[in-house]
Amino acid sequence: MLEIKNLHVKLEEEEKQILKGVDLMIEAGKVHAIMGPNGSGKSTLSYVLSGRGGYEVTEGSATMEGVDLLELEPEERAAAGLFLAFQYPVEIPGVGNMTFLRTAVNAQRKARGQEEMSAAEFLKVVRERAKSLKIDADMLKRPVNVGFSGGEKKRNEILQMAMLEPKMCILDETDSGLDVDAMKLVADGVNALRDIGRGFLVITHYQRLLDHIQPDVVHIMADGRIVKSGGPELALEVEHNGYADILSEVA
């Protein structure tokens, strides 16, 4: 589903190299987690994959189902089925949440050659999926993320993901700032979307989210590279010993 080879990324404005050769292959149906210390390049990886500006790829490749992602505009990547749930969800004053969702869903359906969802059908589906994330009708009417609490913003990201039904979902620290109940809602939302045709990359600083979203593979990122990969037990090792042991082991 997603194949990243030897990806090197620097800041456009400065000489600072952030990603220094990332290799990662995520098969359809699998959940991969990336853990790692702050500043190791996890968010940069998700930004570069989704097409945010300000970064320059100096070497390597990133493809989704064999399509070169790096050649596509951000909206083309989304239309192709890539979704990023932001670490810091953006507020969009003046744009109603429901309007935003419906516009995004229909733009994506159009790009895929599918018919628009009728207003009635959309309303039914969005209400159902919002309910399971404990997002009330009022939050659907308000401007996107404006005045939402941290937890509400993160749940709203998962609602967007549920509505867009992407092929490849990237979640960047969606657990940060969530209490246990909100984290369970987010995890349930993700688990409900697990599917043989869909890949997940779950970026998290802490292990606790991975108690609820069982990953198939866990990677440790440090200083712009994936330095170690393993099964779910790797996340527990980090939980118990921190990153220091692993980092000194691979150094």
Which of Mg ion, ligand ADP, none has residue 54 at its interface (CB below 5 to 8 Å by kind)? ligand ADP
As a dihedral over the C-alpha atoms of residue 33, residue 37, residue 43, residue 45, rounded to 10 degrees, the angle is: -70
Per CB under 6 A, 43 contacts ligand ADP: yes
Beta carbon nearer to Mg ion, 38 or 248: 38
Least Cβ distance, residue 177 to Mg ion (angstroms): 12
Per CB under 6 A, 54 contacts ligand ADP: yes
Per CB under 6 A, 51 contacts ligand ADP: no
Contact with ligand ADP (CB under 6 A) among 11, 146, 192, 250: 11
Per CB under 6 A, 97 contacts ligand ADP: no
Least Cβ distance, residue 157 to ligand ADP (angstroms): 16
Contact with ligand ADP (CB under 6 A) among 10, 26, 35, 41: 41
Per CB under 6 A, 204 contacts ligand ADP: no
Least Cβ distance, residue 201 to ligand ADP (angstroms): 13
Which of ligand ADP, Mg ion, none has residue 218 at its interface (CB below 5 to 8 Å by kind)? none
Residue 46 CA, distance from chain mean position: 7
Least Cβ distance, residue 91 to ligand ADP (angstroms): 20
Region near ligand ADP per CB under 6 A, out of 39-47, 71-79, 105-113, 134-142: 39-47
Per CB under 6 A, 228 contacts ligand ADP: no
- Can you spell out the DSSP letters for the chain? -EEEEEEEEEESSS--EEEEEEEEEE-TT-EEEEE--TTSSHHHHHHHHHT-SSEEEEEEEEEETTEEGGGS-HHHHHHHTEEEE-SSPPPEEEEEHHHHHHHHHHHHHHHTTPPPPPHHHHHHHHHHHHHHTT--HHHHHSEETTT--HHHHHHHHHHHHHHH--SEEEEESTTTT--HHHHHHHHHHHHHH--TT-EEEEE-SSSTHHHHS--SEEEEEETTEEEEEESTHHHHHHHHHTTHHHHHHH-
**Which residues of this protein are in contact with Mg ion, per CB under 5 A?**
38, 42-43
Chain residues that interact with ligand ADP, rule: CB under 6 A: 11, 18, 36, 38-44, 54
